Amino acid sequence: MSRQYFGTDGIRGTVGQAPITPDFVLRLAHAVGRVLKQTEERPTVLIGKDTRISGYMLESALESGFNSAGVDVVLLGPLPTPGVAYLTRTQRASLGVVISASHNAFADNGIKFFSALGTKLPDAWEMAVEAALAQPPVWVDSANLGKTRRLEDAAGRYIEFCKSTFANDLTLKGLKIVVDAAHGAAYQVAPEVFHELGADIVCIGCSPDGMNINHEVGATHPEALMAAVKAHSADYGVALDGDADRLQLVDANGRLFNGDEVLFLMVNERLARGEVVTGAVGTLMTNLAVEVALKARGVQFVRAKVGDRYVLEELERNGWLLGGEGSGHLLALDKHTTGDGLISALQVLQACVRSRKPLAELLADVTLFPQILLNVRLQPGQDWKSSLTLQAESKAVEAELGETGRILIRASGTEPLLRIMVEARDAAQAKSCAERLVAAVQLG
């Protein structure tokens, strides 16, 4: 049975259009509450949100829906997604709920959930919620309605948790860091974390107005961070996205480092300290240079489907700790149960401070391979998987690239497009091979 509402990371869409409407969100919370009450007599859920103006409306709808099912609610206010996951675990709550559309523009919003352990929930749980949505509501009587309260020091608790992941014998004193919170959920906590660890802070993207989240700032628009680092002669720049689970980093020269490079650094820093790192997980899009560099150090590398939940699944399957995506979603499971942009940034800065080396020097052994990504529009009913022309050209390209490159061909999940990625040591070769594959698709 396929899911009707849940996507790869909760339920997301444009506010005012199904399913992101107050009436549906109330029904959703009521259905979730009924599922929780199948195993717990008096559940408690935490609700956090980013800075979108629609968050107030959706928060009220969630609160009413949960209370109507006999579920208690604790409101956290604006807080990064990983902060909600952390507090769900430490407050011994039954469930964590986040109102956010992550890196999307302000007109979108979404609802995602964390288990009592602060982890993403399995497909079976989402299916149970969808089944409950299909049933008529069962309102509890007045004596059994849920109650709501606010956790006043939610941000402070999360700040202390983030700081606890940074080595006690190290400090950020002497460093100037530009912090870009994308006018999102971390606008208060991110500057405080770095400031309290000793850094001199310059803030951009820390003035939300309900409608400017992710607008020309943050991890999806790193140009603003690169310019600010240069303008303020800063040592580093840290950019988060709207819900602060994604990270981009910039050094003093204005060079941007993506999640693939950060993943390698996190692994290599542990190896340098004598820790055993058996393996790491990337995705189908992770740069080949990272895989080559990790394998040269005796670290196994596994590719998951694109999406941090799939990276997490592979980590748990293999019993490993470190994984991530080029987009900046990074996982260090001995630090947190979910991806956390702030904690990932602290792991990188810790490596730089401990080694007394700049970021570029720590990544000198990894030169990312050029990646060429081309989109081909598919005709209605076009069966690209059965194309003999594409199969033959794919084999020819793979033979040409050998061990020095790779190809990835996949259909878009949202548009009638075929995405063709070719990676090679030589940019011109990658471009030529990608164009040959595009031509093969168009020939059928």
Helix (H) or strand (E) holding 395: helix 388-401
Homologous superfamily assigned to 157-254? Alpha-D-Glucose-1,6-Bisphosphate, subunit A, domain 3 (3.40.120.10)
Q: Are 309 and 6 in contact (CB under 8 A)?
A: no
Q: What CA–CA distance (Å, rounded) separates 444 from 382?
A: 8
Sign of the alpha-carbon torsion through 309, 313, 319, 323: negative
Q: Are 54 and 84 in contact (CB under 8 A)?
A: no
- Please state which of the four CATH numbers 3.40.50.2020, 3.40.120.10, 3.20.20.120, 3.30.70.420 is assigned to the domain occupying 11-152: 3.40.120.10
Q: Same CATH topology for 11-152 and 371-443?
A: no
The residues spanned by each domain of the chain are: 11-152, 157-254, 257-340+355-362, 371-443
Note down pLDDT in tens along the chain; length 444 residues: 578 999 878 999 999 999 999 999 999 999 999 999 999 999 999 999 999 999 999 999 999 999 999 999 999 999 999 999 999 999 999 999 999 999 999 999 999 999 999 999 988 999 999 999 999 999 999 999 999 999 999 999 999 999 999 999 999 999 999 999 999 999 999 999 999 999 999 999 999 999 999 999 999 999 999 999 999 999 999 999 999 999 999 999 999 999 999 999 999 999 999 999 999 999 999 999 999 999 999 999 999 998 888 999 999 999 999 999 999 999 999 999 999 999 999 999 999 999 999 999 999 989 999 999 999 999 888 999 999 999 999 999 999 999 889 999 988 866 788 999 999 999 999 999 999 999 999 987
Sign of the alpha-carbon torsion through 178, 180, 181, 183: positive
Q: What CA–CA distance (Å, rounded) separates 250 from 359?
A: 9
Sign of the alpha-carbon torsion through 424, 430, 433, 437: positive
The domain made up of 257-340+355-362 has a fold known as Alpha-D-Glucose-1,6-Bisphosphate; Chain A, domain 3 (3.40.120)
Q: What CA–CA distance (Å, rounded) separates 341 from 330?
A: 7
pLDDT at residue number 416: 85
Phi and psi, residue 239, nearest 5°: -115, 130
Q: What CA–CA distance (Å, rounded) separates 93 from 90?
A: 8
pLDDT at residue number 306: 86
| Cβ partners under 8 Å of residue 352, min gap 6 | 236, 358, 359, 362
For residue 11, the one-letter residue type is: I
Catalytic position from the list 102, 115, 344, 394: 102
Q: Is 39 exposed, middle or buried (0-12, 13-18, 19+ CB in 10 A)?
A: exposed
pLDDT at residue number 1: 57
Q: What CA–CA distance (Å, rounded) separates 50 from 102?
A: 8
The closest of 251, 239, 245 to 332, measured between CA atoms, is 245
Alpha helical stretches, state H, 37-134: 54-68, 81-90, 123-133
Sign of the alpha-carbon torsion through 168, 248, 288, 412: positive
pLDDT at residue number 146: 98
- Region 371-443: CATH code: 3.30.310.50
Helix (H) or strand (E) holding 353: helix 341-355
The answer to whether 100 is a known catalytic residue is no
pLDDT at residue number 308: 87
Q: Are 343 and 124 in contact (CB under 8 A)?
A: no
Distances 82 to 131, 242, 293, 338 between C-alpha atoms, Å: 28, 12, 29, 6
DSSP string for residues in 141-181: PGGG---EEE-TTHHHHHHHHHHHTS-TT---TT-EEEEE-
- For the entire predicted model, the pTM comes to 0.91
Helix (H) or strand (E) holding 192: helix 189-196
